[in-house]
Every structure is written in structure tokens, then in C-alpha cells.
A and B are shown apart, each in its own frame.
Chain A
Amino acid sequence: MTGHPTRAAEFIALPQRAAWHDQSLWFVRAKRDKAAKAIPEWESLRDAAAAIKAHTVANLADYLEEFERNAKKLGAVVHWARDAAEHNAIVLKILSDHNVKRVVKSKSMLTEECHLNPHLEAAGIEVVDTDLGERIVQLANERPSHIVLPCIHKKKEEIGELFHEHLGTDAGASDPQYLTEAARGHLRDRFLKAGAGLTGVNFAIAETGGFVVCTNEGNADLGVSLPPIHIACMGIEKLIPKAAELGVFLRLLARSATGQAITTYSSHFHGPRAGCELHIVLVDNGRSTVLGQDDFRRSLNCIRCGACMNTCPVYRRSGGHSYNATVPGPIGSILEPARDPAKHASLPHACSLCGSCSDVCPVKINIHEQLLIWRRELVKKGLLPLTKRWAMSIGSAVLQRPWLYQMVGGMGRMALKLLPRFLVYSRLNPWGKQRELPTPPKQSFRDQFKARHGK
């Protein structure tokens, strides 16, 4: 099985890559700390955000209908998609009905989740991701390795090479300013030619029927301001009841994501521009199932800020691609197994249970606890390797019998002492690959305690 451990080890084996990746993301985490500390009421904001989300999710059906009503009043067309296939079909139909051949798309994890790009491309439609990071991974034919910083795994030299190949920049050029300018020129052309603009949705507001898209590059705004059609795709959990609550989330989102006080653009959309069309696609794709699960419902709070990735000591050292998933990192290790437990069985174990993600999460998802619960689910589904399950059953059987435990413990200590080094540190012992085992004492604590206390 080539799960997370194998891919992580491959990433770590690349010279200096993991250290660099770790430091880049720790830098973002440190910026987040500074931004969060500047807000004395940070923890109350987190509480408020979690409470608003819990309330919304508990009344989701009502709020969705309210949103639909109000969005329609504003002149938007609202579509409902049960799953990824329906979502893709809806988007394709809108585009084909209008004979659109070129589309610009700002960042949307939902369309990644639904694999929209290949679906449209197969129908002969050109999709250009306009977020710079997303465009880079798109040119490299990769998936984003991070939900906020899609190409954080790439060094600027690699981006230079990629741009040289695809955009004709000078060979060997890696100056970020130069490369960004080149990308801008290239994207401007695509913006002008596009027949429709696709965006994600960060927050949709039930009481107004409007929604908000947050970007730092303004690419969403440009992408929907030029073409006559705007298609906004959103997971049904993106809803909040009232416009007044938006402030709670906008304050948390940018600070958690990048340490900015607010994203450069927080664009509000209320219905189509004059003479244009606005389509909103509401997508379930498994969310209503999660909604019905006590243990995992809170994962629907996620505002996709990426803070849990930046803080995760495993993610930082193994890279986003090691998760082999649309959403990597801690929250991805909960969301992805929910979609395909067998494929993602190694993800809930790609975690040392340090709990940093739960403490950093702006909407207070108990991420590390849910990962632990996923491990239990994997056992129930028969997805934990048998050897591990047996080891745990045998361990438990021994530990339920103090006499047996003492005997096994004594034998273990003795064996460690007597066995030759090459046997103890064989390839069968992953502990010993880079680590020494502890030096075993002659007697256990209990033996000595008994002797000392004369019992």
C-alpha cells in the first residue's frame, strides 16, 4: 500500500525540501499568531463563529430555502446539485446553452473536489485558473498542494522553468516580480477572451441572497466583470444567516489564512450585472451525510482558511501532495475519508494527535478528535491492517493480566539486553532506523517498589 507514509518519506528524501517547506509554512503560522494576538477578543470570535455555524447547520434546510428565495429576488438563477456529477453537468449545460468555449475561474476548492476542469475540458471548453498559484499548478498539470497557497510546494526556480516552457519567459529567470508580470500579461488575454467567469463562494448570506468571494489578487472580480455570465459554485455549508455575522468570519478568515487583517478583495455579489446572468450552484456532494453524523458534523464549520495545514507538523514536513487528496492536511484527513475511506485510509493516521490544528482552527473544529474517531471507523470498516489489529488485541490480552504483563515485560527487557545489536536494529524495526531503543533496566518499577516497601 502506498499510503501517506510512503509519499511523505519520498518528500523528506528530497534534499532540503521538507525543511524549506516546513519553514515557509511556519512563517505563515507565525504571521497568523501575530495577527490573532492583535485582537484581544480572538477566542470570543472563535466561539461566536463556531456557534453561528452550529446554528446554521442545524437549520440548514430553512436557510438554504431563504437564500434561494432572496437570491432569486435579486435576479440570480439558483441550481441544486446532489453530487459532483450533477454539479459538473449543471455548469456544462449553462456553458453549452450559451455556446461558451473559454472560461476563467478563480479559486474554488469545490470545483477541485468535483473535478470540474477535466469535465469541461473533455467537452472542448478551455478552463483557465486565474489565481496565480492555481495557474502555476494547472500549467504543471498538478493539483494544489494547499488550499490557500496552491503552489507552496514549488520553488521560484521551478516556477521560472514552467513559465519559460509555457509562457515564454526568459530561460533561467526566477525573479518573482518578473514572473508575476508575465503571468499577468498572459492572464489578461484570457480574461478578455472568456465567455464566462466561474468563482467559488466564501460566504453566502441567507437573509440577503448575496454572497462574498475573498481573494488577494482581484482575479475573481476581473473574471466576472468582463464576461456576461457569472457562475458561482458553493458547498451548501457556506451559508450564514445574516449579513451582520459576516464580520465575525471575515475577521477570522484572513488572519487565520495568511495573517492579513482582511483579504485584499472581499467582493459582495447581489444578483447579476445589468444585461448579464448570475448562476449559483448549491452543491451537497456528501455534506448532508456528514450533517447527520454527530461525530463529524462540526467539520462542516470549515471556512477553508488553511490554518490547520500551516500549523500541522506533519503536513509541513510531508507536503500537500503526500495526502493524495483534494483537501490535504488535518481537515482533509477528515473530509477525504468520508468520501472514500479505502482510498484515504492512511490519512487519519498521518497525525501525531498533537492537537495544534484544533487550537488554531478559527471555527473550533475538534479536528484531532475527529481524526481519532476516524481511526475507530477505519477499524470498523476493516481498513486497519490486520497485523496492527492483531498486535493491539494481543497487547490488550496481555495487559489485562498483570502476571502475564510482568512476564512479557521482563522477557522484553532481557531480550533487549541479550540480543545482538544487528538483530534488535534489523530492518524489521522501524524504530531503530534512526533511533536507539531505551536501555532496559534490570527490574521494573513494580518489582523495585515491592522490594522497597516490603510488600
Chain B
Amino acid sequence: MSNMVGDFGTTGNVSRLSLLATFSIATGNAPPLTRARDLPGFGGSTSFVHRSTSPIPSSGRPSIVPRVGLFIPCYIDQMYPDVGFATVEVLERLGVTVEFPEAQTCCGQPMANTGCTEAAAPLARRFVEIFEPYDAVVCPSGSCVAMVRAHYHEYFHHDPRYDALRPKVFELCEYLVDVLKVDKLPVRFPHKVGLHQSCHGLRELRLGSSSETIVAPFNKAKQLLELIDGLELVDPARPDECCGFGGTFAVSEEAVSCLMGHDRIADHLQAGAEVMTATDMSCLMHLDGLIRRDKQPLRCMHIAELLAGRPV
């Protein structure tokens, strides 16, 4: 029995010691383990909002007029200008005047998501330079805001300019809900609508609770859609499955991407949706492309268009 206690394998003590040495070196060099990635927690970063810059105090009129910069993602600028105008209209109706800094182009997400951080870095730097003068930056894309808020750290290691800008960059719905505290919308949209939960807004900005997490359910986009007169929200069977756009994924994994999109469309159709909406036009561009090719009876509209009262 005695030979059963102790090493008698082929490797013996040498590899055991070197193994332990590796650990010690590895752990010795390691910075703190639980490095928080600074993803905005549940409820987004509302706590950072300066109350003094809130454009709509209880009186209903702005006290101090904040400078709000409009960030229009490049593909919306080029292909979906009306989503930009719908955003402007929604904000203006609520008493917010927006400026559109013309030097802006793109947040750099396509490069970053391909791993080309060197190509993304100058775009990230430009973004911060262009938008830092504003009190708030509003953008009708959860994905692009997530790029800025959740993924810019890599380009700005503790740069105070970025740290100051970061909590001031908002996706449109969260700006309306968290900052403007919108509780009515004077628009009508008498249609059955399926809300597609764009992933980056949902899981990186926490615009809503995801179906995986066991928390009290909330959803900022839904909260706003429920304010629209006549709008009936339908419930797809899978509440927040990805549409399969995923940037270059849409092209590099064409087969999977399109199948994912087809499945989302089928789910919204079976739920009775006439219109599919989302906080990201990129998801809708992909879905709309499939819908039009297959001649499905479904329209895609960005949530800003619904909030602005655009007809179908």
C-alpha cells in the first residue's frame, strides 16, 4: 500500500515543481483578477447624468440649455437619412436642440470588431475630439454607443478626456427614458409591432433585461413604444435572439447569418407583427434585405421613426 502514497508516475517531481513555478510566476505577474470591464450595469449610466444639464426640468422648459451633439452612424448617414431626421424631430419636439458636428464619420466599430484595432484607433480618437465639447451625445444606434461606452477603453487607457465623455454618450431610447424622463408621446401608430431587441443595446448598454439574466424585467424601448397611441406590441416566441447581422459576420458567415435572420422574421410573423422595429438600423438593414427578397408581408422601421410618428 505504501507505494500508493506519493508520486510514482512517469513525470515525478521535476515537472510538478516546474508546473508550480509556472503558476507562481503567472500569478505573481498578474494584476487584480476581477478586472471589471466597465460595462454599464443594469440601468445604464444614468447616475452620471448631470441634473443641471437636464433639458426638461419639471416646469417643462429647459433651464440651462445643454449642448446636445447628434451622432449619426455612417451607414445611417449614407443609407437611412430619414432615421437621422426622425431622431432630430423626436428630440426637438421634446425641447432639445441638437447640433450635428460635421467632422463626424464613424465610431470605428467595423474595424474593432474585425480585430483591426490599429485601424479603429484613429477613428476613436476623432470621435472623442469631435464630441467632447457637448453636454450630451445622442445616437440612434445601440451598437455604436456600445462601441464608445464599452469598447473604447482599449484606445484610451484612463484618458480623462474619454472618461469625461463616456457617461455623456446615450442611445436615443435611454436618453429619452433616463434623461428626459419621457412619459407621453403625442403620436399615433395603429399597427402590430414586433420589437427586435438589438443585442448590443440589450446586453452591453442594458437598455432592457436580457432573457438569460434572472432580474426584474425592464425594457426602455418597450416603455417608449407603449406610449404610442394605437401601437400594439406582439410577443415573438424567442424574446431576444440575435438577428444574425453582426457586422462583417453577415458576409463572412453568410449562411448562418441569413438563417438567423429568416428565423427572426418567421418568429415575428407568427406573432402577428406587421412592422418590425429595433434600436439598430443595421439589424433592420439585414432583416429588411431578407424580407424584400422573400416578399414577406413585414415592414422594418427604426424605433426613431415610430417615436417620431412616421406612417408605415
Contact = CB atoms under 8 A, between A and B. Distances in A.
A399 B116 contact: no
Contacts of B23: 60-61, 64, 288, 291
A294 B114 contact: no
A438 B289 contact: yes
Contacts of A436: 288-289, 292-293
Name B's interface SS.
Answer: helix
Interface string B245-258: 11111111111111
Given A82-B19, A314-B253, A354-B246, A60 B27 contact: yes
Contacts of B254: 5, 9, 430-431, 433-434
B79 A77 contact: no
B140 to A, nearest CB: 11
B102 A292 contact: no
The 5 residue pairs across chains A and B that have the minimum distance between CB atoms? A352-B246, A375-B115, A435-B289, A292-B26, A354-B242
Contacts of B76: 445
Interface string A342-379: 00000011111111101110000010010010111111
A288 B21 CA distance: 10
Contacts of B245: 352
Question: Size range of the interface on B?
Answer: 35 or more
B212 interface: yes
Contact of B116 (A313, A393, A441): A393
Contacts of A82: 11, 15, 18-19
B108 A43 contact: no
Interface of A: 4-5, 8-9, 12-13, 18, 22, 26, 33, 36-37, 39-40, 42-43, 50-51, 54-55, 57-61, 64-65, 72, 75-82, 86, 89-90, 93-94, 272, 277, 281, 284, 288-289, 291-292, 294, 297, 311, 313-314, 317-318, 348-356, 358-360, 366, 369, 372, 374-379, 384, 388-389, 392-393, 395-396, 399-400, 402, 405, 409, 412-413, 430-431, 433-438, 440-441, 443-446, 448-450, 453
A232 B256 CA distance: 39
Given A352-B257, A444-B77, A65 B20 contact: yes
Given A77-B4, A360-B212, A412-B78, A350 B253 contact: yes
B138 to A, nearest CB: 14
Given A64-B23, A378-B115, A5 B252 contact: yes
A45 B114 CA distance: 34
B184 interface: no
Nearest to A65: B20
Contacts of B183: none
Interface stretch (B51-59, B118-126, B161-169): B118-126
B30 A294 contact: yes
A93 B100 contact: no
A366 B259 CA distance: 26
28 contacts: A9-B256, A36-B214, A37-B214, A58-B27, A80-B19, A86-B10, A90-B9, A291-B30, A292-B26, A313-B242, A314-B253, A314-B260, A317-B256, A318-B256, A352-B245, A352-B253, A356-B241, A377-B115, A379-B116, A379-B118, A396-B122, A402-B102, A402-B105, A436-B289, A445-B78, A445-B84, A449-B84, A449-B85
Given A40-B214, A396-B116, 15 more contacts: A18-B259, A61-B27, A77-B5, A288-B26, A314-B260, A353-B199, A356-B241, A359-B203, A379-B116, A393-B119, A395-B119, A399-B108, A400-B105, A409-B78, A431-B289
A80 B9 contact: yes
B211 interface: yes
A438 B33 contact: no
Given A431-B251, A438-B289, A445-B77, A294 B116 contact: no
A395 B248 CA distance: 13
Contact of A388 (B77, B114, B293): B114
A76 B8 CA distance: 11
A61 B256 contact: no
Nearest to B255: A9
Contacts of A291: 23, 26-27, 30
Nearest to B83: A445
A302 B24 CA distance: 21
A445 B6 contact: no
Contacts of A396: 108, 111, 116, 119-120, 122-123
Given A351-B246, A409-B77, A79 B11 contact: yes
Contacts, number: 296
A24 to B, nearest CB: 14
Given A58-B27, A349-B249, A445-B72, A400 B19 contact: no
Contact of A437 (B24, B102, B199, B289): B289
Contact of B25 (A81, A292, A356): A292
A354 B199 CA distance: 5
A400 B242 contact: no
B204 interface: yes
Contacts of B178: none
B263 interface: yes
Interface string B144-161: 000000010000000000
A8 B24 CA distance: 41
Nearest to A369: B37
Nearest to B84: A445
B203 A355 contact: yes
Interface centre among A59, A395, A450, A453 (most CB of B within 10 A): A395
Given A36-B214, A396-B122, A444-B81, A313 B244 contact: yes
Interface in B287-304: 288-290, 292-293
Contacts of A75: 1, 4-5
B186 to A, nearest CB: 22
Contacts of A360: 212
Interface string B223-253: 0000000000000001011101111111111
Nearest to A377: B115
Contacts of A288: 19, 22-23, 26
A356 B27 contact: no
B249 A352 contact: yes
Contacts of A453: 100
A236 to B, nearest CB: 8
A9 B251 CA distance: 12
A410 B106 CA distance: 16
Contacts of B126: 400
Nearest to B103: A402
B152 to A, nearest CB: 13
Interface centre among A277, A356, A396, A444 (most CB of B within 10 A): A396
A60 B143 CA distance: 38
A54 B31 CA distance: 12
